[in-house]
Amino acid sequence: MSKKGRKTELILRYFQGSKRYFACAAAASFVTTALNAVTPQIFRFSIDEVLGGSGYGWLAENLWLLALSIVAVAVLSGAATFVTRTCTARAGENFAKNMRDALFVHVQRLPMSWHDKNQTGDIIQRCTSDVEVIRNFVVTQLLEVFRTVFLVGISFGIMVSMNRNLAFVVLLFVPVVVLYSAVFYRLIARRFTKADEAEGELSTVVQENATGVRVVRAFGREQFEMDRFREKNEVFARMWIRLGTLSGLYWGVGDLITGLQVVAVIVLGAVEAVRGNMSVGEFVAFASYNTVLVWPVRGLGRILSDMSKAGVSFERVDYIIHGQEEACGETTGTCGEVRGKIGGETKSRICGGAEAVSGNAEGELPRSMDIVFSHVSFAYEQGKKVLDDVSFSIPQGKTFGILGGTGSGKSTLVQLLTRLYELREGTIAIGGVDIRRLPLSWLRSHVGMVLQEPFLYSRTIRENIAAPVPGASLEEIREAAKTACVDDSIMGFADGYETLVGERGVTLSGGQRQRVAIARMLLQKAPIMVFDDSLSAVDSQTDHQIRKALKERVKGATVVLISHRITTLMSADQILVLNGGRVEELGTHEELIRREGIYRQIYEIQMSGDDREQVKR
């Protein structure tokens, strides 16, 4: 589809619920335009027929009736303008709301690889400022185009009926205005694109500074951040100054052309009136129509120039709208309805949505939680392989440990398991079913994950823990918190579970944030639980308590532990050691320490003599 076709499709798609308001605004606008065309005719009639003594003496004695007619036209025009503005506001806000909703929902469904390539500030810019530019153009400026065309048609038709030669002179100026506006349209489009991109970069700097304020303060980076912001702000300001200069030139040239048009009509109209080719009343009416016509035509030129901004915003929004969503699974091929048999009962699922009982099963869901990685290789984009021919299996209900250096691919393994990134080589299966054939909603509701740097919302601790189960009772929330060994810490706060967490959880310590995130995942009651180095910020004793509580209270779950601590992994049923993206070792703790390998080397480094005796006991 062409760019023009995609823009039209974009407009029509989000005009649902706004079409009647837009039609009402257009009709009211046309009424206003028609009424504005009546006023100059009242002037002409008053001068030529009433004051000229052509048999309307009674009106000459009651000029207030003519004044009243002008007031009546003005009142009706004002009422029509009110309707236009009101309907335009409703149509515009509905249109913008529909577009913002669609953008936000679509962003939620875009894969992590897309988010990796796009800055947060720029995404915000596209979903807010660019949507507003489109709204303003589609609802306000596009309506103005229709009104201007209608006005030109009416006014020019009346002007031709009064004096063809003078109307032809006015007509000569119209293509001049349109031509120079088209030239500026192209120039402004390029500069607005750069200015919009500069604004996105500026928004990114502000967003990164606000979210990373602790790091900025801790390392004394305030001056660096201020310099970085000042540099981006200077570029942004310079772009808009250039755009303003170009706009000033556009309006200056436009004023010159408009002035020449007005002067030409007055001079030539006076000549025509003196020669008797038109009456004084017609001359005044013609000049009025010219004045009425000049500014909308100028406005049409402005709209053509502003169209460049809307065109850029359309392309920026279209980039998000046409981003490829995550594939839900081969049972449907799209993020639509997915069916499967769960415990003998057939249910349907919407990608990311709720369940509903359905009639027929189109695809079987896993009947066990056995996990099998078979010859898995992965690289981010076209870079070096992060994982290279990795194979292992995790039986249901077992605890599986993963150890490896930085960049060895530990986190990538679990991100592939939850399909945050799509697997390209090899297979990952749960219960014998390739995860690429599973609905994302099912997969992510059955695989709970806690990251090393957990994200907490700026809400209460209770709301953060209850995020996966909004209707959870306080008793259920506290039970999960006790298992995560964070209940005592929470109850130590003045407001307990109603304590407000600062942005990204900054009011809590690193260990508290991790334990709150663990409690949140435990409340999900997922049959597969992944701890991606999520115990790194707690001390060894708390680490031991959490793992002990997990064994006692979360029985039957498959647990995947990623850690740099040998003490965290040594009780696992099996331990995988990764090195450079490849499987280096695989076995139990006792088997691995008997080998001369990486695991034993790390064990020797981390475990002091006292620690070893304590472990033996």
Has domain 3-321 been given CATH number 1.20.1560.10? Answer: yes
Work out the average pLDDT over 287-309: 73
Report whether pLDDT(371) > 90: yes
Three-state helix/strand/coil letters over 378-440: EECCCCCEEEEEEEEEECCCCEEEEEECCCCCHHHHHHHHCCCCCCCEEEEEECCEEHHHCCH
pLDDT of residue 339: 34
User: Given pLDDT bands bounded at 50, 70 and 90, which one contains residue 73?
Assistant: confident
Q: Angle 288-289-294 (CA atoms, 0-180°, nearest 5)? A: 100
Report whether pLDDT(20) > 50: yes
Classify the phi-psi angles of 375: left when phi > 0, otherwise alpha if psi is within -120 to 50, otherwise beta: left
More confident residue, 174 or 158: 158
Q: Which of 592, 431, 457, 614 is nearest to 527 (CA)?
A: 431
Q: Which of 160, 421, 464 is nearest to 290 (CA)?
A: 160
pLDDT digits (tens, 9 = 90+) for 92-137: 888 888 888 889 888 888 888 888 788 777 888 888 888 888 888 8
pLDDT digits (tens, 9 = 90+) for 231-256: 888 888 888 888 888 878 877 887 78
Q: Which of 320, 266, 262 is nearest to 293 (CA)?
A: 262
Work out the average pLDDT over 172-189: 74
Q: What is the DSSP letter of 525?
A: T
User: Given pLDDT bands bounded at 50, 70 and 90, which one contains residue 390?
Assistant: very high
Backbone angles phi, psi at 541, to 5 degrees: -65, -45
Are residues 340 and 332 in contact, defined by beta-carbon separation less than 8 angstroms? no
The top-scoring range by mean pLDDT among 1-10, 38-47, 455-464 is: 455-464
More confident residue, 140 or 85: 85
User: Given pLDDT bands bounded at 50, 70 and 90, which one contains residue 505?
Assistant: low
Query: Cα(446)–Cα(527) distance, rounded to whole angstroms?
Result: 6
pLDDT of residue 4: 65
pLDDT of residue 355: 36
Report whether pLDDT(431) > 50: yes
Are residues 499 and 461 in contact, defined by beta-carbon separation less than 8 angstroms? yes
Residues 6 or more apart whose CB falls under 8 angstroms from that of 110 comprise 320, 323, 324, 325, 326
User: Given pLDDT bands bounded at 50, 70 and 90, which one contains residue 329?
Assistant: low
Q: What percent of the chain has pLDDT over 70?
A: 84
pTM: 0.65
Q: Which of 242, 263, 44 is nearest to 159 (CA)?
A: 44
Report whether pLDDT(351) > 50: no
Q: Give the CATH class of 371-616.
A: alpha beta
Query: Cα(254)–Cα(252) distance, rounded to whole angstroms?
Result: 5
pLDDT of residue 360: 30
Residue ranges of the chain assigned to CATH 3.40.50.300? 371-616
pLDDT of residue 354: 34
Work out the average pLDDT over 205-217: 73
Report whether pLDDT(349) > 50: no
pLDDT of residue 506: 66
Report whether pLDDT(222) > 50: yes
pLDDT digits (tens, 9 = 90+) for 446-490: 998 887 777 888 888 899 899 888 888 999 999 989 888 889 889
Biggest CA–CA distance in the chain, Å, is: 123
Q: Which of 57-61, 311-315, 501-505 shows the lowest per-residue confidence on average (mean pLDDT)? A: 57-61
Backbone angles phi, psi at 417, to 5 degrees: -60, -35
Q: What percent of the chain has pLDDT over 90?
A: 11
Residue ranges of the chain assigned to CATH 1.20.1560.10? 3-321
Query: Cα(184)–Cα(307) distance, rounded to whole angstroms?
Result: 11
> What does the mean pLDDT of the chain come to?
80
pLDDT digits (tens, 9 = 90+) for 509-553: 778 888 888 889 888 888 999 988 877 666 777 777 877 877 777
